[in-house]
Amino acid sequence: MKKIQKIPLVVIVGPTGVGKTDLAIRLAKGTHGEIVSADSMQVYRYMDIGTAKPTLEERQGISHYMMDVVDPDEAFNAALFQKGAEKSIRKINSREKLPILAGGTGLYINSILYPMDFTDAAEDPEYRSYLNKVLGQHDNQYLHDLLKQTDPDTAARLHPNDTRRMIRALEVYHATGKTMKEFRQDYRNMESPCYDWMLYGLTMDRLKLYGRINKRVDRMIQAGLVREVKGLLNMGYQEDLVSMQGLGYKEILHYLEGRSTWEEAVELLKRNTRRFAKRQMTWFQREKRVHWLDGNRPEDRSFLCDQIISDIEKKWSF
């Protein structure tokens, strides 16, 4: 391998259900690589089925990092991901293997592609506490109207019920005087000091993707998703945890608590997952440096893998 100053890094992104895991494993096998997961739910232990975590058999002997790193009741965020993922990438590189970052959590991906400094991440806990008190005294629309006055672009994007993101946007503006768009653009214009990366996005016809998502939910249920959620409850992990509000868990919890029928829970999970995939695509389409790959034909995955390997050989002389 040619000695280069920055660590070579291949990144694979795309919406849930599009086939990122399969492509990443194929690529790792073809390049002597190892995989760093960039998924905000796969970090949790005991949450395997609902997070679509690849089984040991599916991993085909390829080492995976940033999976099963915290318990469901432990706090986790982008700053902790960045720290853990960077350590993993350095470890993979030190063993003369290719790091492959793969996942669908946009902020986690950006924390590696760009020099995002989470040590000064525009936080003001006191002001955040104040906003939560305001929210307790007024309704969600009141908070949304406050956001309109300071950051109309973000207000237009967020539903009034998305109080967490509204509070975050107000906090950023209070701490920096910048809108969320301005705050994010600061790092998007910077080059990574650590990594020489190539970014690939796997895309698919929307109706075909939605069909795959529906079938994947059916497979999760057949694999024991309800049993997994019951097991988490028996271990003491309650509904109010961030982890238990993840896709696949909150919908099953509603069913177990009698707040929905089984049919309603399954349909809600499918609908919420489709909507989530749509939001992911919107996020990744903002990134101008993505090399988009057509994932409509699963039988072409070997061809797509060969295409990436060819790019790697040209760029880094592996």
pLDDT level of residue 47 (50, 70, 90 thresholds): very high
Predicted local confidence at residue 176, as pLDDT: 75
Higher-pLDDT residue of 180, 197: 197
pLDDT of residue 310 exceeding 80: yes
Q: DSSP label at 201?
A: E
pLDDT level of residue 20 (50, 70, 90 thresholds): very high
Predicted local confidence at residue 133, as pLDDT: 87
Q: What is the pLDDT of residues 202-214, one digit of tens each?
A: 999 999 999 999 9
pLDDT of residue 236 exceeding 80: yes
pLDDT of residue 64 exceeding 90: yes
Predicted local confidence at residue 1, as pLDDT: 44
pLDDT of residue 21 exceeding 90: yes
What is the C-alpha separation between 123 and 151, in angstroms, rounded? 17
Sequence-ordered list of residues with C-beta below 8 angstroms from that of 227, at least 6 positions apart, any chain: none
Phi then psi dihedrals of residue 68, to 5 deg: 55, 50
Predicted local confidence at residue 164, as pLDDT: 86
The chain-wide mean pLDDT, for the chain, equals 92
Q: DSSP label at 177?
A: S
Sequence-ordered list of residues with C-beta below 8 angstroms from that of 261, at least 6 positions apart, any chain: 255
For the beta carbon of residue 110, count every other beta carbon within 10 angstroms. Answer: 18
**Beta-bridge mates of residue 70:** 44
Confidence (pTM): 0.82
Alpha helices in the chain (DSSP H): 20-31, 56-59, 78-94, 106-113, 125-137, 140-150, 152-157, 163-176, 180-188, 206-223, 225-234, 250-256, 262-285, 301-316
Predicted local confidence at residue 139, as pLDDT: 84
What is the C-alpha separation between 65 and 286, in angstroms, rounded? 27
